[in-house]
Amino acid sequence: MFTKILIANRGEIACRVAATARRMGIRTAAVYSDADAHARHVMACDEAVHVGGSAPRDSYLRWQRIIDAARATGAQAIHPGYGFLSENEDFAQACQDAGLVFIGPPASAIRDMGLKAESKRLMEAAGVPLVPGYHGQDQDPALLQREAGRIGYPVLIKASAGGGGKGMRAVDKAEDFAAALASCQREAAGSFGNEAVLVEKYVQRPRHIEIQVFGDRHGHVVYLFERDCSVQRRHQKVLEEAPAPGMTEALRRQMGEAAVAAARAVGYVGAGTVEFIVEQPGGYERPEDMKFYFMEMNTRLQVEHPVTEAITGLDLVEWQLRVASGEPLPLAQDQLRLHGHAIEARLCAENPDNDFLPATGQLAVYRKPSASGFEVADVRIDDGVREGDAISPFYDSMIAKLIVRGRTRAEALGRLDAALALVRIVGVQTNVQFLRRVLATPSFSGARLDTALIQREQGRLFGQDPLGLDMAVAAAAAHIMLAERAAETPDPFSRTDGFRSHGVASRRIDFDHQGQPVVAKLRYLPGGLHLQVGDEPAAPLSFTPQDERIDVRYAGRRQVVQVFRRGAALHIFGTDGATAITELDPLASAGEGAGEGGRLTAPMPGKVVSFAVKVGEQVRKGQPLAVMEAMKMEHTIAAPRDGVVGELLFAPGDQVAEGDELLRLAVSA
């Protein structure tokens, strides 16, 4: 066994690997960029080496610096985590050439499975079922469009190299193919250095089910059951669970054996995932009719590996280390067992109501269920951040992974919702409330799963505020009044409790809630406070502080909430959900204009990829104007209203900061 390893990654996976290594008595060395100088993964390891600038290409992708760092620290092996260099065959070979063990598959297996087109040819020879499509080397756009027509729309364009949903577009009709192809190629070239694509049939009502495989250097290969990863946005996973709901034992065995055959076909060693697209021609109620097709193999550990660990009781990183050091697999296929059900939720810095646009900022508040005063059984959190850390534009938007296990799927669902209800994040927008809404949909709770679930349930998922305006205003007013009471002096003339020697005291508080002005009126009556929200009738308001929480009773509802103030914004968390409301100073905003007019600004830091319009061009509301690249993904910027393009203020390739004005729209004549 190794005595020291270097972890060539960052964030939660680096912390995850370091934790297992520490338990096994193995010392660890971290690498870090300028942006990560004080990151949690640096502190989680025994020593750390600086490898370059903040952008991945200047640090975590500079594999010669990583190898030099391993040599300098005396590490015997390198664990690549996932992302970055984990599926880079040149890096794996360079490790071997440098006398270092690459904790992953041989370079030849990465090469064979790294290019989707080549891997599909290998799988066809191994008897693994394939989706109909074009996997050839000729990348002429006209040929690719003809092949799409032959396959029949809708089709899926996919980058031949890489994964993670990057360089992937679904195309419904021929006239959209050329633009989608160009976007895929740009994203693939930027993410993987290879713009080659393949075109496949877009399977209707598909499920995304993957099989965890493990191989050793002694010829043993096993499968550790399946994970359902069907709930996705932008072709990236949102929720993952194991085992897959509705899976029959016969289908589990068939898919497991096909995955093992795929691994054997390339001489696979270590942890890998064989991903299948599963067609449901008989509908959700007839799993026996499901058909599966090979999609790709991820030649690394997956983000969602904790759900497999939860249902098998195994540590997959420990297995990686043992296999890489030359040991045989710890268990044979007939010794592996399933126990219960596990679900993983990815907590991301993003705005679901704005097409999941990634967000940046500081984690001013970051509280996890274990630190909230309540315990939820069988909850695990994998993260690489702490309160006060920054979510930067340089890396992936994931903040943490929340994993729960239950005896049944229903129990796991309940525990996951309870755990999400206890997450407190202030400073960046997140998808936490969106995840809770997904869990509550009939499709997810009823295991009616496919990759279109989010689109199908969008009416229940977007623009919702389960806490409610009335309760949000009541909680905000209670927090403001409690803060004022805490600051009061014994001077009776300075008190804000509404006391009057005669008459009734009243007070107005102005708020902004989701972009809409709200007026709250408080009346101090002999029987207690009464609150009126907008034009609604006034109702009694009472509240009692409970440590960091407030027990609020208003308009027939009672909710125990937790409120965090950040500037003028009040972030309110309750069991029903969370929201934010901003206290306004009417004097401070007096005389301000109605808005920004024709300015169109960057929603986050990034790079301008292209403009879809020219100066003088007439545009309509919702029309694509520009494409930006940020957090390793492309984002389309649309026109907020009708108008005429007055000026383009940047050029393709320019870096922009959040809030930079990209172009100006003039009012149509």
Residue range 378-388, pLDDT digits in tens: 899 999 999 99
Average pLDDT over residues 75-82: 97
Instruction: Report how far residue 158's alpha carbon sits from residue 70's, in angstroms, rounded to the nearest whole number.
Output: 35
Amino acid residing at 477: A
- Whether the bond between 154 and the residue before it is cis, its omega within 30 degrees of 0, is yes
Q: Residue 251 pLDDT > 50, yes or no?
A: yes
Q: What superfamily does domain 207-360+429-459 belong to in CATH?
A: ATP-grasp fold, B domain (3.30.470.20)
Domain ranges of the chain: 4-103, 132-201, 207-360+429-459, 469-584, 599-666
Q: Residue 433 pLDDT > 90, yes or no?
A: yes
The tens digit of pLDDT for each residue in 277-292 reads: 998 877 777 878 888 9
- Strand pairing partners for 563? 572
Which pLDDT score, from 0 to 100, does residue 374 have? 52
Domain at 4-103, CATH from 2.60.200.30, 3.40.50.300, 3.40.50.2000, 3.40.50.20: 3.40.50.20
C-alpha torsion angle, residues 263, 264, 268, 274 (rounded to 10):
0
- Strand pairing partners for 68? none
Q: Residue 424 pLDDT > 80, yes or no?
A: yes
Q: Residue 50 pLDDT > 70, yes or no?
A: yes
The DSSP-derived string for 53-76 is: -SSGGGTTT-HHHHHHHHHHHT-S
- Among candidate residues 67, 51, 69, the one with its CA nearest the CA of residue 59: 51
Instruction: Report how far residue 240's alpha carbon sits from residue 303's, in angstroms, rounded to the nearest whole number.
Output: 10
Which pLDDT score, from 0 to 100, does residue 202 have? 86
Residue 383 tokens, joined: 């993260």
Instruction: Report how far residue 540's alpha carbon sits from residue 542's, in angstroms, rounded to the nearest whole number.
Output: 7
Helix axes 432-440, 409-420, angle to 10 degrees: 150
Instruction: Map residue 396 onto helix, strand or coil.
Output: coil
The tens digit of pLDDT for each residue in 181-193 reads: 999 999 888 778 8
Q: Residue 135 pLDDT > 90, yes or no?
A: no
Instruction: Map residue 45 onto helix, strand or coil.
Output: coil
Instruction: Report how far residue 379's alpha carbon sits from residue 383's, in angstroms, rounded to the nearest whole number.
Output: 13
Average pLDDT over residues 353-359: 88
Top-confidence residue, 134 or 319: 319
Which pLDDT score, from 0 to 100, does residue 247 have? 93
Fold of 599-666: OB fold (Dihydrolipoamide Acetyltransferase, E2P) (2.40.50)
Which pLDDT score, from 0 to 100, does residue 591 have? 37
The catalytic residue among 300, 346, 367, 448 is 300
Distances (CA, A) of 658 to 9, 281, 597, 602, 605: 27, 46, 18, 5, 5
Q: Residue 235 pLDDT > 70, yes or no?
A: yes
Radius of gyration of the chain (CA): 27
Q: Residue 594 pLDDT > 50, yes or no?
A: no
Q: Residue 505 pLDDT > 50, yes or no?
A: yes
Which pLDDT score, from 0 to 100, does residue 249 have? 94
Instruction: Report how far residue 440's alpha carbon sits from residue 417's, in angstroms, rounded to the nearest whole number.
Output: 9
The overall pTM is greater than 0.85: no
- Do residues 171 and 180 make contact, with C-beta atoms less than 8 angstroms apart? yes
Residue 190 tokens, joined: 């930027």
Fold of 469-584: Glycoprotein, Type 4 Pilin (3.30.700)
Instruction: Map residue 112 onto helix, strand or coil.
Output: helix
- Do residues 292 and 258 make contact, with C-beta atoms less than 8 angstroms apart? yes
Query: How would you classify the pairing of strands 505-513 and 516-525?
Result: antiparallel
Q: Residue 497 pLDDT > 80, yes or no?
A: no
- Among candidate residues 415, 421, 411, the one with its CA nearest the CA of residue 403: 415
316, exposed or middle or buried, with CB in 10 Å at 0-12, 13-18, 19+?
Answer: buried
Average pLDDT over residues 52-73: 96
- Among candidate residues 253, 204, 380, 358, the one with its CA nearest the CA of residue 309: 380
Q: Quick one: what percent of the chain has pLDDT higher than 70? A: 93
Q: Residue 567 pLDDT > 80, yes or no?
A: yes
Query: How would you classify the pairing of strands 197-201 and 168-171?
Result: unpaired
Q: Residue 154 pLDDT > 50, yes or no?
A: yes
Edge to edge, the sheet with strand 341-348 lists 291-298, 270-279, 207-215, 221-233, 236-242, 341-348, 398-406, 379-383
Instruction: Report how far residue 470's alpha carbon sits from residue 579's, in angstroms, rounded to the nearest whole number.
Output: 12
Mean pLDDT in the chain? Answer: 90
Distances (CA, A) of 245 to 110, 152, 208: 30, 30, 12
Instruction: Map residue 397 onto helix, strand or coil.
Output: coil
- Among candidate residues 45, 56, 51, 16, the one with its CA nearest the CA of residue 31: 51
**517: how many CB neighbours lie within 10 A of its CB?**
12
Which letter does DSSP use for residue 41 in this model?
A: H
Q: Residue 339 pLDDT > 90, yes or no?
A: yes
Residue 406 tokens, joined: 């239950």
Which pLDDT score, from 0 to 100, does residue 587 have? 52
Q: Residue 125 pLDDT > 50, yes or no?
A: yes
In the chain, the N- to C-terminal Cα span, in Å, equals 75
Phi and psi torsions of 510, nearest 5°: -95, 135
CB-based contacts of 170, cutoff 8 Å, min separation 6: 154, 155, 156, 157, 202
- Do residues 455 and 443 make contact, with C-beta atoms less than 8 angstroms apart? no
- Do residues 175 and 145 make contact, with C-beta atoms less than 8 angstroms apart? no
Residue 33 tokens, joined: 């960029």
Top-confidence residue, 324 or 669: 324
Residue whose entry in the numeric block shows the structure tokens 């391993």 = 70
Which pLDDT score, from 0 to 100, does residue 162 have? 67
CB-based contacts of 237, cutoff 8 Å, min separation 6: 208, 229, 231, 303, 304, 346
Fold of 132-201: Dna Ligase; domain 1 (3.30.1490)
202-211, 518-527, 586-595: segment of lowest average pLDDT: 586-595
Query: How would you classify the pairing of strands 569-574 and 577-584?
Result: antiparallel
Top-confidence residue, 504 or 53: 53
Instruction: Report how far residue 269's alpha carbon sits from residue 325's, in angstroms, rounded to the nearest whole number.
Output: 11
Instruction: Report how far residue 52's alpha carbon sits from residue 36's, in angstroms, rounded to the nearest whole number.
Output: 10
CA torsion through residues 56, 61, 66, 68, sign? negative
Distance of CA 132 to the CA centre of its chain: 30
Which pLDDT score, from 0 to 100, does residue 182 have? 93
- Say whether 300 is catalytic: yes
Average pLDDT over residues 266-271: 97
88-97, 410-419, 629-638: segment of lowest average pLDDT: 629-638
Instruction: Report how far residue 635's alpha carbon sits from residue 648's, in angstroms, rounded to the nearest whole number.
Output: 18
Q: Residue 518 pLDDT > 90, yes or no?
A: yes
Average pLDDT over residues 201-224: 94
Query: How would you classify the pairing of strands 27-33 and 47-52?
Result: parallel
Which pLDDT score, from 0 to 100, does residue 590 have? 40
Average pLDDT over residues 508-526: 91
CB-based contacts of 244, cutoff 8 Å, min separation 6: 207, 209, 226, 227, 228
- Do residues 491 and 499 make contact, with C-beta atoms less than 8 angstroms apart? no
